Amino acid sequence: MATRQFSKSQPQYPPPAIEPDFISISGKSPEENRTPIERLRILWDRRSLLYRWIAIGLFASTITAFVIPVRYTSTTRLMPPDQAGQGLASMFAVLGKSSELGNLGSELFGIKTSGDLFLGVLKSETVQNAIINKFDLRKVYGDHRYSDARKQLDNRTDLTSDRKSGIITIKVSDRSPQRAAAIGQEYVKQLDRVVITLDTSAAHRERVFLENRLKQVQIDLESAEKDFSVFASKNTALDVKEQGQAMIGAAGQLEGELIAAQTELEGLLQIYTTNNVRVRSVQARIDEYKRQLQKLEGQAPGSTGNVDNAPGAGQPSSTQNGDLYPSIRQLPILGVTWADLYRRTKVQEAVFETLTKQYEIARVDEAREVPSVKVLDVAAVPEKKSFPPRLIIMLFGTCFVAAICSVYILGEARWRELDPEDPAKKLGEEVFQTFRTNTRRVMNKVKRSRTK
């Protein structure tokens, strides 16, 4: 079988076709096939232009960094407030100070700590409006409305709370370092005022109730004491019970002496006549004893002892007959009013004493439950500016301009390598020419309008 012989000098396959310089074998553009070294070569060849743009970027970013207004930041730190509550709320509040378990429990059970309350109060419109009015921030910020001033103040204030330690941080930025420190201190004052004013805890409600009730009881006690003192002074009824016992004892003693004198008189009458000196002396003594008994019993001299004729039966008053103290017949009548006034005074004294004790206890409980604002770091006047970071702005601006210039140089090189007949290049040149023509036309119209 015959075989064909191929000459070694002739190639077995046709040579590959030569592709243009702007199209690669893989179908990708030359820019996509360039290595990083080739791109660096292009930038190195145009380094003069790159240097000029870097210098311009450095100059522009430096001016921008020094033109931006300077701000100072004052920092205030508050201690974590005392947690109030019972049961699971108190347990998770305590755990929340030292671990993430407390935070998880608070989120699961919907328990809000006093730190969250403080942050909410600091962000409220009440506190912000008070600060705006005190420092006239609408004029400082150039705003006419409170809403715009609150936005500016909110943008310049950073309120954060550390989850682990519970420390609340208040950072206030302002162009004036003194005003920044003053605003930070005012935040603490307003927080303390609002927490105390709007406190609605159970201890607070109890304290308010007891305080109002105590005022009313004090008025009633003063009225009862006044009525009792007026009655006792008018009727000389200092202590009806003691006075009654003393007067009954005195009456018994007088009656005993009267009986003894009468017995002595009867004995003398058997010996002497009625005109005898001794008989007349004993008779005078007997008459005096009778007058004293009638006075103690509240009878008029010479009366028959009828109770209705007693001066205290109609109107009990020890001053009607000019007596210093009330009679025995008057004491029971005076004792009813005296005992009522005395009981009323004692009741009011007991109520006042009880409410006073409860009021003091409620004040202690309220002070324990109300979260107190404890300042850890007072807002001090900052010594250094916090904004703008000029070095960062200069570096970022310079790098940004250098990157833009590099993209421009590589894009220009890519554009030159495109085939003049490429549809994309033709479209780009047409759009560029149209834009250039329209721009010149607008500029010419502006110049003519200015000259007119």
* Residue keyed to tokens 């150039």: 142
Between helix 240-269 and helix 277-297 the angle, nearest 10°, is 160
pLDDT in tens, 134-159: 999 999 999 899 999 999 999 999 99
Strand partners, 158: 171
d(CA 124, CA 118): 10
Rounded to two decimals, the pTM is 0.50
**Whether 247 contacts 329, CB under 8 Å:** no
Q: Measuring CA to CA, how many Å separate 351 from each of 213, 348, 359?
A: 10, 5, 12
The maximal CA–CA distance of the chain, rounded, in angstroms, is 208
* Residue keyed to tokens 């328990």: 111
The tens place of each residue's pLDDT in the chain, 452 residues long, gives: 344 444 444 444 444 444 444 444 444 455 556 688 888 888 888 889 889 999 999 999 999 989 888 899 999 999 876 654 443 344 334 444 444 444 544 444 444 566 788 888 899 999 999 999 999 999 999 989 999 999 999 999 999 988 888 889 999 999 999 999 999 999 999 988 887 777 656 677 788 888 888 888 888 888 887 877 776 666 665 555 555 555 555 556 766 777 777 777 777 777 777 788 887 888 888 888 777 766 655 555 555 444 344 444 344 444 444 454 555 455 555 655 666 677 777 888 888 888 888 888 888 877 776 666 788 888 889 988 888 888 999 999 999 999 999 998 888 888 887 777 778 777 877 887 888 888 888 888 888 887 76
